[in-house]
Structure 1
């Protein structure tokens, strides 16, 4: 019967397929091999760092990429030849793109009306109002955001996405002056665009962002400066310890490193965000606050987000040089 007939598709012989593949391969004029592209840079977060030795065989390469090896001399740090290298500009561009996205989402997810939160109650203190709930939600979200952005941009640019990290690696002699200038410039530019997009998303410039607001009539500037300095110092020790210390590479590695960096920043932003009434917590990223002020309005205390962070970078660098993770050996 016709209903019982079976129709089958034409069968292709496996040897015929192999022959077609071999024929297609022979038609190519050249064969190409590929390798993973992770430019050497010792200031790279996320456990993907590749450090070169300062042997004679690497002298020519290090002229263009001096921060491919640690412990640069002052002459190597100030070498301007990297400004002429296209890969450095590409990395800086990606720092700007990553900063734009990071700043936009962390602003939009952490903004609130530009009014001081309700006064703490006698029974619950800061634990029953927006001054506690806001940093809690922001800290949780920032953990995911920082972790994912570090995974995403770690192998591309080093995943600094923060002038504080770039300046700290510069003082630790892990980042050349040209890279530091380009990275910070693109980070700030990307953050400014992120702030403008946050304002366009929110529909008004009347907002404040966690980590970037202080009511100076309630909290003195010197107190906020102390919190910013201490929180930033702790962040740098955490970030360098789990993300930039070569001794931790086999322990932490490229998988766990971004999680720990994200956990460090998220916990610090949460832990400093609710204790003091009238203070939104440590910034830890001056470009993020700069972007939020571009989208809203500039206060007269924004300087502490830069000065306190830079002082923390210098403070951290002193200990980094006193007890360096690198041991100098004679090149052969």
Structure 2
């Protein structure tokens, strides 16, 4: 029986590897488009008014959830064949901890994801009809709302920092658990993984937008805050998702997932993004989402 995968550093040669560079560029484009759509939806949905002239919270919540879920599902499908369709530094972190991507390639992905998110949010900031609406999609909790006067994805006044942090851990755990169950596990329905991932993002938004704005993605949060300048409690949107992703990835990988098949075992179903430059042919699916 083949051994379980584990954390590996990789080689600095990956920084010159053509497939790795292409993968990083795919992640850059994925986050650029995702942040453009998701932040744009927060801004535009603020113009939805009810009969009294106030912002229609229910309509805005559904619009935000749909935009985030559809955008991430589409971008995962679009980039899966090139990069694995991570579109999230927390997902890349989970892949790193479980040995499905090297540290060197993770660094390339993280840089590309963060820069792409900044560009995407910057594009919508440049064309937004009302830049103050929704705080450019900045994720904030109650203390920041009270201090800054920003209406950012509707966090309630009773939400505290600890509650916000725990919420981000939980919803990111759910997201990464679904990713492992649909896209990573060779027994899972990989053909519909982008759809399942998008639906998970949508569902988590319906639950968590009133609490934290439902980030689950440090790059998504960082790209928006660079342009809005609302940095209060921003650490929550890094530590929470990274911790949630780590717990989910390690749990599924080392508790629920069967060991990689031996070379003589029947070939598994083709995964979303086979890695072509790993020395072990049994790890061809090591980098998919």
TM over 0.5: yes
Root-mean-square deviation (Å): 2.8
Q: 1:209 to 1:131 in 2, by over 3 A?
A: farther
Aligned residues: 245
Once the two structures are superposed, the pairs formed by residues 165-314 of structure 1 within 5 Å of their partners are 165-202=91-128, 205-207=131-133, 208-209=135-136, 212-216=139-143, 217=146, 218=157, 219-248=159-188, 252-254=189-191, 256-274=192-210, 279-314=211-246
**Structure 2 gap ranges (5+):** 47-53, 147-156, 265-289
Q: Which residue of 2 aligns with 1:133?
A: 59
What per-residue deviation string (whole Å, max 9, x for no partner) do you get for residues 87-135 of structure 1? 1011101210121111111101112699xxxxxxxxxxxxx96443222
Q: State the distance in 1 between where 2:263 and 2:124 align.
A: 51
Is the Cα–Cα contact under 8 Å of residues 243 and 261 in structure 1 kept in the other structure?
no
Report the equivalent of 2:40: 108
CA shift, 1:245, in A, is 1.2
Kept in 1, the 8 Å contact 2:138–2:228? The answer is no
Unaligned stretches of 5+ residues in structure 1: 1-52, 55-69, 115-127
8 Å contact kept, 1:72–1:173: yes
Matches within 5 A, 1:86-165: 86-111=18-43, 130-165=56-91
Residue pair 1:211, 1:283 contacting (<8 A) in 2 also: no
- Cα distance change of structure 1 residues 318 and 95 upon mapping to structure 2, 3 Å threshold: closer
CA contact (8 A) 1:102 1:145 kept: yes
- Tell me, in whole angstroms, the C-alpha distance in 2 between the residues paired with 1:131 and 1:182: 39
Q: Distance in 2 between matches of 1:160 and 1:328?
A: 21
Whole-Å separation in 2 of the counterparts to 1:328 and 1:213: 41
CA distance in 1, matches of 2:197, 2:173: 14
Distance 1:211 1:261, change over 3 A: farther
Pair 1:320–1:131, CA change in 2 (3 A): same
Larger radius of gyration: 1
Q: Is residue 228–residue 308 contact of structure 1 (8 Å, CA) maintained in 2?
A: yes
**Which residue of 1 is the match for residue 270 of structure 2?**
none
Q: Distance in 1 between matches of 2:182 and 2:117?
A: 26
Inter-CA distance 173–109: structure 2 relative to 1 (3 Å threshold): same
Aligned in 2, Cα 1:328/1:202: closer, same or farther, shift over 3 Å?
closer
Moved more, 138-147 or 265-274: 138-147
Q: Distance in 2 between matches of 1:73 and 1:142?
A: 32
